[in-house]
């Protein structure tokens, strides 16, 4: 019976919340629905409340959805009457909206609903909502229920939400393992396996190692296997190595192997190191980088010969840079070896084919504060913001390095005050007004371990720059400067909320988008197609479509790839700090982040701009915390192969056939 339903609650809810015509017709042709979403866009929860009493269930459901998306607080009592409606789809979205308050006041209402509710899908949504706002008592309440199959997905999602908040219990852990073993939907299985691999208590896992391994052996879905192998390693520790080794040697899906590489802290490094280095030298970009990151975390001085061999052998420049940085760190205190590694780094920086490659090689010097002059030279001569940002990031880490005191002594013997040199560079970086340079340099100045409070007597340069970066598109710089000034002056920071409302939804653009609007994305590795979620994310879909049509994204560099997590693009600078001159609102929804989900990057609620990402696997910890505005419908194999430094050649809206 296992997997006899697939993603039941999620799929049915998507259909139930929308009237049937909205699935094929642009629902925003209705002026009242546009008005409801405009109220949400302006964060006017009070203005939405009257629609909960509208005689039209479509408007009631839309208002409930928008209240959940806004995450309005103090509205639980107002939502409860909507939970008495005859329409199941309205009750479902009402349960979701209650969970979105993330507040204990929703708990008694959700329990009151569960006392009478008979619809399995509504009950499942109530379980998930309890996971967002309930206590450990509530966790044990839902975990103890022997649900019918149709409710188990919501039960798994609810227990997962508790785990995400740091609330776990033996009852909850046991239920998740039972759901995997006895049956739930595919989505429920993904949530349960993700929970066991990351949130279930290790003390409990150590009591059920055989059961966890059996669940892994019986599983065939690769995403679920990639989660469960983490649970096996957490349950068995060193004893998991024979199984882990066999998987690394034979398993075909890179995501399973990446999750193993990310769990090496529980496996003795001397057993695994040679195998890990082989992956660094391999052809799969995700495995190579994940293995190099494992080396960066765990390698020791006795691995020096393996490091030097892999530096020569690997064809992936990102992996090579990670190895060089680790090697330089390990040879601290050995002048001859330091010079040898520095020479390799300098040559790599100077011969880098792309700005992103140069940036990564620059960052290998973070443990070598005596080389600040070389990094400053790269900063001053940088023709690309990617390099400038990397240079300042490197300098901030150099200043925080445990090797700084020794480097300072060596510099003093040559008449150089290293502390003053670094402060000079940081001051200059802040005065540029450039967002990442300001944010990075300001951040290091308030590190209490560095004691800049006694060294900076004139804060005028900080105050002048604070005025310069007081703009929605420069919020990160403003926040960092604000906090640094407050720390230096010994006063509370200025209250900083989300950016002011500055980019209303373009209904003109929304009106010409198909409900299932597709976008073709051409990259240097091939093409893929995404479908936009216009129905639930009109503001995001419209802003994205406008940028696509204007050519905004043409020839952008992919600046971030985290193996088995995301690839990210949309930064006009190419360093991850860029944004358009406006911000758009977060548009949260019940849509889960599964493999191939198209999400909007942000630095906090309502700070979205142009940066977007696509998930390699299910990432349920992002649900309803980031805007989920589409998914890949063709070419996911291309997405899995994209690397940092690859290019988005062109994006275009596709016409319906």
Per-position DSSP letters for 445-457, written without gaps between them: HT-GGG-GGGT--
Q: In angstroms, rounded to a whole number, what is the distance separating the alpha carbons of residues 38 and 63? A: 11
Residue 237 in any domain: the answer is no
User: 612 and 531 in contact (C-beta within 8 Å)?
Assistant: no
User: 399 and 393 in contact (C-beta within 8 Å)?
Assistant: no
Predicted confidence band of residue 15 (pLDDT cuts 50, 70, 90)? very low
Residue 387 in any domain: the answer is no
Q: Among residues 339, 340, 413, 416, which one has the least CA distance to residue 372? A: 416
Q: Phi and psi dihedrals of 571, rounded to 5?
A: -95, 120
Residue 630 in any domain: the answer is yes
Residue 241 in any domain: the answer is no
User: 61 and 17 in contact (C-beta within 8 Å)?
Assistant: yes
Per the prediction, the chain carries an average pLDDT of 94
Q: Which of 200, 221, 246 is the last residue of a domain?
A: 200
Instruction: State mean pLDDT over 148-169.
Output: 97
Instruction: State mean pLDDT over 426-440.
Output: 98
Q: Can you list the alpha helix ranges (DSSP code H) found in 367-506? A: 372-381, 385-400, 404-412, 418-431, 435-445, 460-468, 475-489
Task: State CA 478 to chain mean position distance.
Answer: 22
Looking at the DSSP bridge assignments, the partners of residue 569 are 612
Q: Among residues 248, 16, 49, 22, which one has the least CA distance to residue 124? A: 16
Q: pTM for the full model? A: 0.94
Helix (H) or strand (E) holding 632: strand 628-634
The range of the structural domain enclosing residue 25 comes to 8-200
611's tokens: 């940066």
Higher pLDDT, 19 or 553: 553
Q: In angstroms, rounded to a whole number, what is the distance separating the alpha carbons of residues 92 and 95? A: 5
User: 601 and 611 in contact (C-beta within 8 Å)?
Assistant: yes
Percent of the chain surpassing pLDDT 70:
96
Q: In angstroms, rounded to a whole number, what is the distance separating the alpha carbons of residues 62 and 119? A: 20
Predicted confidence band of residue 85 (pLDDT cuts 50, 70, 90)? confident
Report pLDDT digits (tens) over 435-480: 999 999 999 999 999 999 999 999 999 999 999 999 888 989 999 9
Residue positions counted in the chain: 657
Domain count, the chain: 2
Residue 539 in any domain: the answer is yes
> How many beta carbons lie within 10 A of that of residue 623, not counting itself?
24
Per-residue pLDDT at 25: 79
Q: Which of 200, 227, 243 is the last residue of a domain?
A: 200
In this model, does residue 4 exceed pLDDT 50?
no
CB neighbours of 31 closer than 8 A, spacing ≥ 6? Answer: none
Give the largest Cα separation in the chain, rounded: 82
Kindly list the strands in the beta sheet with 526-532, ordered across the sheet, starting from the edge strand earlier in the chain. Answer: 556-557, 647-653, 518-523, 526-532, 628-634, 597-600, 612-615, 566-569, 560-562
Report pLDDT digits (tens) over 498-542: 888 999 999 999 999 999 999 999 999 999 999 999 999 999 999
Report pLDDT digits (tens) over 95-142: 999 999 999 999 999 999 999 999 999 999 999 999 999 999 999 999
Per-residue pLDDT at 485: 96
Q: In angstroms, rounded to a whole number, what is the distance separating the alpha carbons of residues 205 and 212? A: 8
CATH number of the domain that residue 571 is part of: 2.40.100.10
Residue 160 in any domain: the answer is yes
Q: In angstroms, rounded to a whole number, what is the distance separating the alpha carbons of residues 532 and 519? A: 8
The vertex-559 CA angle with 228 and 265, nearest 5°, equals 35
User: 540 and 606 in contact (C-beta within 8 Å)?
Assistant: no
In this model, does residue 53 exceed pLDDT 50?
yes
Residue 470 in any domain: the answer is no
Residue 223 in any domain: the answer is no
Q: Which of 176, 200, 224 is the last residue of a domain?
A: 200
CATH number of the domain that residue 89 is part of: 1.25.10.10
> How many beta carbons lie within 10 A of that of residue 32, not counting itself?
14
């Amino acid at each position: 019976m296992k997997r006899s339903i697939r993603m039941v609650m999620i799929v049915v809810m998507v259909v139930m919340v929308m009237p049937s015509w909205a699935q094929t017709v642009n629902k925003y042709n209705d002026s009242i629905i546009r008005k409801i979403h405009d109220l949400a866009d302006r964060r006017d929860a009070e203005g939405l409340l009257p629609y909960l009493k509208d005689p039209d269930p479509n408007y009631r459901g839309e208002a409930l959805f928008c209240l959940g998306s806004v995450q309005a607080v103090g509205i639980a009592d107002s939502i409860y009457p909507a939970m008495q409606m005859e329409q199941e789809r309205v009750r479902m979205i009402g349960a979701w909206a209650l969970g979105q308050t993330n507040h204990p006041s929703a708990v008694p209402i959700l329990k009151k609903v569960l006392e009478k509710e008979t619809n399995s899908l509504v009950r499942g949504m109530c379980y998930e909502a309890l996971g967002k706002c309930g206590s450990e008592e509530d966790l044990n309440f839902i975990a103890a229920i022997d649900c019918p199959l149709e409710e188990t997905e919501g039960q798994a999602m609810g227990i997962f939400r508790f785990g995400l908040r740091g609330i776990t219990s033996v009852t909850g852990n046991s239920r998740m393992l039972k759901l995997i073993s006895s049956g739930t939907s595919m989505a429920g299985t993904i949530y349960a396996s993700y929970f066991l691999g990351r949130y279930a208590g290790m003390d409990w896992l150590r009591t059920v190692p055989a059961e966890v391994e059996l669940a892994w052996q019986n599983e065939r879905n690769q995403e679920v296997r990639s989660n469960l192998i983490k649970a096996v390693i957490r349950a068995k520790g060193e004893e998991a190595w024979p199984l882990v080794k066999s998987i690394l040697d034979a398993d075909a899906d890179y995501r399973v192997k990446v999750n193993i590489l990310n769990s090496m802290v529980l496996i003795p490094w001397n057993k695994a190191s040679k195998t890990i280095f082989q992956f660094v030298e391999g052809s799969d970009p995700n495995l190579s980088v994940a293995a190099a990151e494992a080396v960066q975390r765990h390698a020791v001085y006795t691995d020096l010969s393996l490091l030097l061999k892999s530096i020569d052998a690997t064809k992936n420049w990102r992996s090579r840079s990670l190895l060089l940085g680790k090697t330089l760190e390990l040879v601290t205190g050995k002048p001859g070896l330091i010079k040898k590694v520095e020479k390799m780094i300098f040559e790599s920086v100077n011969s880098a084919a792309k700005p992103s490659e140069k940036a990564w090689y620059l960052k290998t010097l973070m443990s070598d504060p005596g080389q600040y002059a070389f990094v400053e030279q790269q900063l001053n001569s940088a023709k690309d913001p990617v390099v400038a940002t990397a240079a300042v990031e490197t300098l901030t880490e150099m200043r925080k390095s445990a090797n700084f005191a020794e480097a300072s002594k060596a510099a003093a013997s040559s008449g150089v005050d290293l502390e003053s040199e670094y402060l000079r560079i940081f001051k200059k970086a802040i005065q540029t007004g450039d967002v990442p340079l300001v944010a990075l340099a300001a951040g290091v100045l308030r590190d209490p371990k560095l004691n800049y409070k006694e060294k900076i007597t004139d804060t005028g340069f900080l105050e002048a720059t604070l005025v310069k970066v007081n703009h929605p598109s420069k919020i990160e710089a403003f926040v960092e400067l604000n906090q640094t000034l407050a720390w230096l002056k010994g006063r509370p920071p200025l209250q900083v909320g989300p950016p002011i409302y500055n980019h209303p939804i373009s209904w003109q653009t929304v009106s010409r988008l198909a409900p299932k609007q597709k976008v073709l994305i051409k990259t240097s590795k091939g093409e893929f197609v995404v479908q936009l979620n216009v129905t639930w994310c009109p503001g995001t879909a419209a802003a994205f479509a406008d940028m696509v049509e204007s050519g905004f994204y043409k020839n952008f560099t992919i600046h971030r790839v985290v193996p088995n997590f995301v690839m990210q693009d949309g930064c006009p600078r190419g360093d991850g700090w860029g944004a358009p001159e406006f911000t758009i609102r977060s548009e949260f929804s019940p849509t889960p982040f599964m493999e191939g989900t198209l999400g909007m990057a942000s630095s906090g609620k309502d700070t979205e701009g142009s940066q977007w990402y696509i998930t390699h696997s299910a990432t349920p910890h992002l649900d309803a915390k980031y805007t989920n505005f589409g998914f890949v419908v063709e070419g996911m194999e291309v997405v899995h192969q994209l690397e940092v430094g690859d290019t988005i050649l062109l994006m275009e809206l596709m016409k319906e056939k």
